[in-house]
Structure 1
Amino acid sequence: MKTFTRYGIEFAFAKGAIYCMEAVFLDIETSNNHAEDPKDLRTWISSIQVLFNGKYYLFRYPEELIKWFEGLYKKLKLYPSKKFKKKLIIYIHNASYDLSYLIPYINMLPDFDYSNQGIIEGPNKFLSYVRGSLEFRCSYILSGMSLEKWSKEMNIEHKKQVGLYDYDKVIYPDQELTDKEQIYDKYDVLAMQECLAKQMEYHGDNLTTIPFSATSYIRRTLRRSCNNDKYYRNEYFYDNRLNAELYDYMLKSYAGGMTHNNRFYRDTVIEAGKEYEFINNEFIFVNIIGHRDFKSHYPSQMTCYDFPLGQPQLIYKSDMGFYMTIGEILSWYPTFSSMSVIRFYNAELKDYRISMPFMQFSKCYEARFNSKMLDNGRVLYASGEWIMFLDNLTLKILSEQYDLEYEVLESWRMLNKPLPDCIIKVIDKYFKGKSDKKNLVHNLTEEFGKLDPKTIEAEFELMQDKKGLNSIYGCTATNPLRDQFEVTDKVEFLLKQSYNDLDSIHEGLTKYYKGRNNFLAYQVGVWVTAAARYELYEYIKAIGYNKCLYCDTDSIFYIKDEETEAAIEALNAEKKRKAHKIILDNGKEEYYDEFTPEPDCLAFKGLHSKCYGVVTEKGLELTIAGVPARTLVDIKDGELIYVTREEELAQGEKDPVKALDHLSNGFEFKINAGVSALYIGAEGFESPRIPQVIEIDGHVIHTAGGCVIRKLDKKVIRDVDFNIKFNENYQEGFDIDSML
């Protein structure tokens, strides 16, 4: 790589451009007038922190930052030459937030008509933003974590400061900042710089090679491995390419993990040592509550099972003059996987005892229902017409759980193959690395303690392998065709490229499969989650619908007894006979695809998906989507004082089981209530986002508006999300239509 130096700063020629090899680290603090009415709300930048080439700058007005950038343009000669573009990379943690304030000012700088605004994936959703020679990137997307967590994981000197800044305080740019506020401001950019430096060193990167996102690291590793296999591109990518229709079907069929709460135990504390009615005088005694999860669930699917990697074949279409049945489609497996388009007219659970129904209401397209009954977004019963796009594994679950009246409209199949060695060896590398480093951390902690530098460094390397392993599936499930936006000078987001019809999808896929940087088949990601859901379903059946309390993607809480444990271990043994394994540094075998026990629970209560609590030997533990784990409420003698969601739910109750029972419909979290985001212009909500000078309480404010983070007054717990009523009287043979 050819380099040169200007004013002591290194520049490099790479990728058809001249890169400044020193990044700018930028952060802003904002304030607002806390008006209740969004139209009266005003927000502004109260300070701007910049770190570049070892020098720290503190600005109070956005125009000062723009003037500084103009000076850099001249000093570093960032204006383009006839042959080369030039790049100065600016990192911002949570760039989408800061850019909501800065873009109207940044756009005052020259853009040289590059016709490239970076990667904008939605309104106020920036992977990068380009203006002239300036390329703004998001270090939050790069790290995948908050700056506080990133700086702790990297174990840097200047860690993100917490608690020194009062976000409720109104700070005007003409007011002097306190010493604590100035320390807080400075440490943000110092932490970014030190974290990035350590991350680049670990991965062997510089500013010309560093990727945009956390997932991109593992994508790069996979690409290198696949490129080294001369057969890979044709056999596992290009030859099995999807056409526009099949891609559209797979996109509509794709779903994440199965998350559900047993409706028969909903809103009930299930406590060890007590008996409970499951349904219709069927009682079950709870000795203890078990909890298991899968070891590396998605990587296990990728290493232990086959995937649809043959050329897609259209086997059936409704105009072919004969009828296709679900049974015929399922008979193709395991030789083939299939993707089918099916119109349903009726669906009803075969047995009302099925407490974990898998048919997703959100996956019902072109729906015209006469009647329906849902359990937290899952279909118990429905009649009318709707279309679903189903892989064979999900279709098998539905055929086992439901009586179905249907018509197959179209069905495709693809030959199943194991993933190639060039992908498996990357998965093995990170799986082995995670296991080996976990053992190393354990040994170092026992010998030297948790705070010893050797232990801390091993912990850091363990986290890198964990992130790498978890990112592999994400690479395969990334939609290859994503909408792109552009932004106007008034911060209006316009759709630049969309894929909303078959013609645009066909054009996009043609480019995707021809692109030399592209190498992953989208169908792999679709089937990874389908296989994971099917495996979860197998264990739900082994445990029993009357004993499953809650499931979430790769884990199950259940009523534990000898019979259940025997059923689980029998299924584990069956899986182990087929499972992939690696040999660790200590010589031991480590298997994928194990359903392993977690600490038992003394009590469980769930309301719906992502809303439950348990009591373990450690006490009360809650998982509630939208409710922060803790909220900072005070600082005393330099110590940060938090209130956890468990403490707030307990309301002083010392008995954790009684405290758990507070989790019910209508409970209000007022401390751990979360936040909302509102984008406003210079003169309030729905006003233009253009630079203006306004006066507030005698202070002159320079603002173009931005994103206001508002603390919610309360977070109300609801019995069932989606606000869909569940009728507990549903049972076999009941006239459901009369109840709706």
Structure 2
Amino acid sequence: MGEIPTVSHKKVEYLNIESGFDIETTSTYIEGRKAAFSYIWMFGIGLGNEIYYGRTWEEFRALYTLLVTYFGLGSDKRLVIYVHNLAYEFQFMRKYFEWEEVFSIKERKPIRALTVDGVEFRDSYILSGMSLATVANNLTKHKVAKLEGDLDYSLPRHQKTELTAAEMAYCNNDIEIILAYIREQLDECNITEIPMTNTGRVRQYVKSRCFTEINKETGEEFRNPRDYQAIMKKLTLTPDVYKMAKRAFIGGFTHSNPEHSMKVMENVSSVDLTSSYPTVMIAEEYPMGSPVQLMLDSLEDFRKASAKYCIMLDVAFVGLRNKIGYESYISESKAVKLEGAEIVNGRVYSADLLTMTLVDVDLEIISAVYEWDELHWENVWAFKKYYLPKAIIQSILALYQDKTTLKDVKGREVDYLRSKGMLNSIYGMCVTDIVKDDHIYDDVEGWGIEETDVKESIQDYNRSKSRFLYYPWGIWVTAYARRNLWSAILAVGNDYIYSDTDSIKMLNYDKHVGYVEQYNADIQEKLRRCMQYYKLDESLLNPKTIKGVEKPLGVWDFEGNYSRFKTVGAKRYLVEENGKLKLTVAGLSKQNGINYMKEVCDNDNTAVFEMFTDELYIPAENTGKLTHTYLDDADTFMFTDLHGETVEVHSESAVHMEPAEFNLSITDLYIDFINRYVRPNK
């Protein structure tokens, strides 16, 4: 193998080389109980030329011991092994090793697991944010195509089952992809600098910019965190305000107009906001001071105060009624108290009483959608508002610039993919929860939760000198983005059909071009004001592609027309574009779902649209959807493979997977709402 380079980090030496691990498994039923086990493992080290196989965990333990001995691994020297979806493999192997530390983002979701012998397993799926097939497609230097269909998972296999050359090639292929992907990461940095998560990459990038200054005379960059730390020192929270902010957080808005639901609509246009979250992070003003309490006597007072402050408050609506009819804004799940409510597909249409926590931007939208008999508020907290720090603005601009200018540029594929991924993740780092319970793993007890002391965590957060973000920023990012989306919903009126975070589908697009043009002019003016405030080059808002086409940030971009469109609720729609059908249904594979429907309908598109109803059912063998069951107890049993050979199988712990059927399952409440309010005479 030759000498392997190493790199030191925090007094620990790491082998600076790519390495990957994968298993293939069988799920079955034994005497009516679920059982599962692995029948082959693959381990790779080095770029595609050192791949080892074994059929049992005892054999992998032997290789593991050899690796520890050969490389001299231990508390001060480590080998990092990447696994694509570590949570799955960990459940099979966790009892075969002694663990020093397991870092998990939630129960049974480890992304890093370190053994006492210095072998550190990391999750390449969490790092990439992509399936293995997508990772393969995005490789730039070391091309490896993802093999499909060469390993039929439904066939019963065990550790003695002979695998065909095609099946072995499939097993080999998965490791080659992991190795190639990590090799491309190592071409850019060393093993200790590869982040644990995709969001971690953008955190490193932005934090570095925040803590770096440029010498005005020489133009050289130098590390100087003091100025930025002074900004952060002013941005503190109390436990109560943090809890309010948690309640006030709302994600993207996804919904459908009940008037047009469950009907086939023709000539439907789609428009999309260009980089919606990055746009509002530049264009809008955010909490830039610690919260203070306000006393407000009227809505007029509220509106005056919101010109200077970002405001968060607890509200109670009495006699809440929808006044536009075709869409509802408030999510049922965000209500703290809800009485006498009419619900439309998860959204509150009306209520005798509704209490919730919201921010000023939400109240602005709610005022446009609803009317009420009484409005009461308390716990009004206000933050002075200004633009986000200049370093963050510059980070967003740089990433958008690279995403636009580097696309399709030969030799810059890695830089393009990195900038695109980081731009998409830049908002996510703002809403990372600052108070999280620890999901711990113990070799004896298994999984458990260690509750975090909120007061202590907030104190640590306020005092942190490495902090470069403020949790309330993320609350307003999504609020501003929803307001932009809702500007279109309100302007389009009943021609609006469907929305999803940063896009809407509508009828009669030509009638609404005026709104689109005015919105685009307004958002570009907002963006320019921020650039002028920070004395930044305004041309950065309009980078050009390699072909010289300008891509202005933040505008509504016309995506095209669908000849037919049908929605049956949020995250449930079918489109026909240029004769091709595309299906989007939460919880269902797009390709598997449409393939089954086309087969049943003899490739008749009209019949497929007729089939797409609230009664849609897809059999388990056609969904591509799997149900997971964690098996924590050891099991030993006799098992017969596809060739009729029976052997004894032992499993310490496992994950049982089986195909799951799919039912569209629209709620009776939604159908009842449509029948009573939308189409009462039909």
Question: Is the pair's TM-score, using the shorter chain for normalization, greater than 0.5?
Answer: yes
Structure 2 equivalent of residue 563 of structure 1: 511
Distance 2:230 2:319 in 1: 41
The one-character-per-residue Cα deviations of 1:594-624 (angstroms, maximum 9, x if unpaired) are 0111111222211100001222224322211
Change (3 A) 1:9 1:654: closer
- The answer to whether structure 1 residue 706 and structure 2 residue 654 are counterparts is yes
- The answer to whether structure 1 residue 359 and structure 2 residue 330 are counterparts is yes
- The answer to whether structure 1 residue 612 and structure 2 residue 573 are counterparts is yes
Change (3 A) 1:152 1:562: closer
- The answer to whether structure 1 residue 41 and structure 2 residue 14 are counterparts is no
SS in 1 for 2:193: coil
SS in 1 for 2:272: strand
Structure 2 equivalent of residue 105 of structure 1: 96
SS in 1 for 2:321: strand
Structure 2 equivalent of residue 52 of structure 1: 45
TM-score by length of 1: 0.82
2:192 to 208, 220, 224: 208
| Mapped contact 2:582–2:590 kept (Cα < 8 A) | no
Distance 1:653 1:309 in 2: 59
Shift of 1:461: 3.9
Change (3 A) 1:654 1:13: closer
Distance 2:616 2:550 in 1: 48
Distance 1:212 1:191 in 2: 18
Change (3 A) 1:536 1:130: same
1:423 to 383, 388, 392: 392
| Mapped contact 2:112–2:123 kept (Cα < 8 A) | yes
Aligned-pair identity in percent equals: 24
- The answer to whether structure 1 residue 137 and structure 2 residue 117 are counterparts is no
**Within 5 A, what are the aligned runs for 1:390-429?**
390-404=358-372, 405-429=374-398
**Within 5 A, what are the aligned runs for 1:24-39?**
24-34=19-29, 37=32
Distance 1:182 1:593 in 2: 48
Distance 2:27 2:575 in 1: 39
Distance 1:721 1:16 in 2: 61
Distance 1:121 1:711 in 2: 26
Aligned length: 645
1:190 to 176, 180, 184: 176
Structure 1 equivalent of residue 633 of structure 2: 689
SS in 2 for 1:64: helix
- The answer to whether structure 1 residue 481 and structure 2 residue 431 are counterparts is no
2:623 to 653, 673, 696: 673
Distance 1:708 1:314 in 2: 53
SS in 2 for 1:127: strand
Structure 2 equivalent of residue 249 of structure 1: 244
Distance 1:334 1:531 in 2: 14
2:208 to 209, 216, 224: 224
Change (3 A) 1:723 1:570: closer
- The answer to whether structure 1 residue 338 and structure 2 residue 311 are counterparts is yes
Structure 2 equivalent of residue 578 of structure 1: 526
| Mapped contact 2:103–2:112 kept (Cα < 8 A) | yes
The one-character-per-residue Cα deviations of 1:620-677 (angstroms, maximum 9, x if unpaired) are 222111110224xxxxxxxxxxxx6156257335553453232101111235424233
Shift of 1:327: 4.2
Shift of 1:232: 5.0
SS in 1 for 2:244: helix
**Within 5 A, what are the aligned runs for 1:452-463?**
454=410, 457-463=411-417
Change (3 A) 1:340 1:326: farther
- The answer to whether structure 1 residue 295 and structure 2 residue 288 are counterparts is no
SS in 1 for 2:521: helix
The one-character-per-residue Cα deviations of 1:30-81 (angstroms, maximum 9, x if unpaired) are 11225694xx12111100101135532111111221222222223322233x
- The answer to whether structure 1 residue 728 and structure 2 residue 678 are counterparts is no
Distance 2:256 2:431 in 1: 26
Structure 2 equivalent of residue 171 of structure 1: 157
- The answer to whether structure 1 residue 304 and structure 2 residue 277 are counterparts is no
1:436 to 405, 425, 429: 405
Change (3 A) 1:730 1:158: closer
Shift of 1:420: 1.8
Distance 1:725 1:121 in 2: 39
Shift of 1:719: 3.2
Distance 2:227 2:578 in 1: 50
| Mapped contact 2:319–2:352 kept (Cα < 8 A) | yes
Structure 2 equivalent of residue 637 of structure 1: none
| Mapped contact 1:579–1:591 kept (Cα < 8 A) | no
Distance 2:669 2:200 in 1: 34
Shift of 1:334: 2.7
- The answer to whether structure 1 residue 388 and structure 2 residue 356 are counterparts is yes
Q: Give unmatched runs, 5+ long, in structure 1.
A: 1-5, 272-287, 317-322, 442-453, 499-503, 632-643, 682-687, 735-740
Distance 1:619 1:105 in 2: 50
Distance 1:68 1:654 in 2: 51
Change (3 A) 1:26 1:566: same
Structure 1 equivalent of residue 483 of structure 2: 534
Distance 2:499 2:417 in 1: 26
Distance 1:618 1:727 in 2: 30
Structure 1 equivalent of residue 663 of structure 2: 716
Distance 1:614 1:716 in 2: 19
| Mapped contact 1:374–1:724 kept (Cα < 8 A) | no
SS in 2 for 1:600: strand
- The answer to whether structure 1 residue 313 and structure 2 residue 292 are counterparts is yes
| Mapped contact 2:259–2:674 kept (Cα < 8 A) | no
- The answer to whether structure 1 residue 525 and structure 2 residue 474 are counterparts is yes
Distance 2:30 2:671 in 1: 34
| Mapped contact 1:49–1:56 kept (Cα < 8 A) | yes
Distance 1:588 1:368 in 2: 50
| Mapped contact 1:649–1:663 kept (Cα < 8 A) | no
Shift of 1:726: 2.2
Shift of 1:529: 0.6
Distance 1:151 1:561 in 2: 38
- Aligned residue identity for 1:413: A
- The answer to whether structure 1 residue 627 and structure 2 residue 588 are counterparts is yes
TM-score by length of 2: 0.89
Change (3 A) 1:74 1:460: closer
Q: Give unmatched runs, 5+ long, in structure 2.
A: 214-224, 529-537, 641-645
1:469 to 405, 408, 423: 423
Distance 1:481 1:86 in 2: 32
Shift of 1:464: 2.4
Distance 1:426 1:311 in 2: 24
SS in 2 for 1:601: strand
| Mapped contact 2:7–2:190 kept (Cα < 8 A) | no
| Mapped contact 1:620–1:646 kept (Cα < 8 A) | no
Shift of 1:267: 0.7
Shift of 1:237: 2.3
Change (3 A) 1:594 1:158: closer
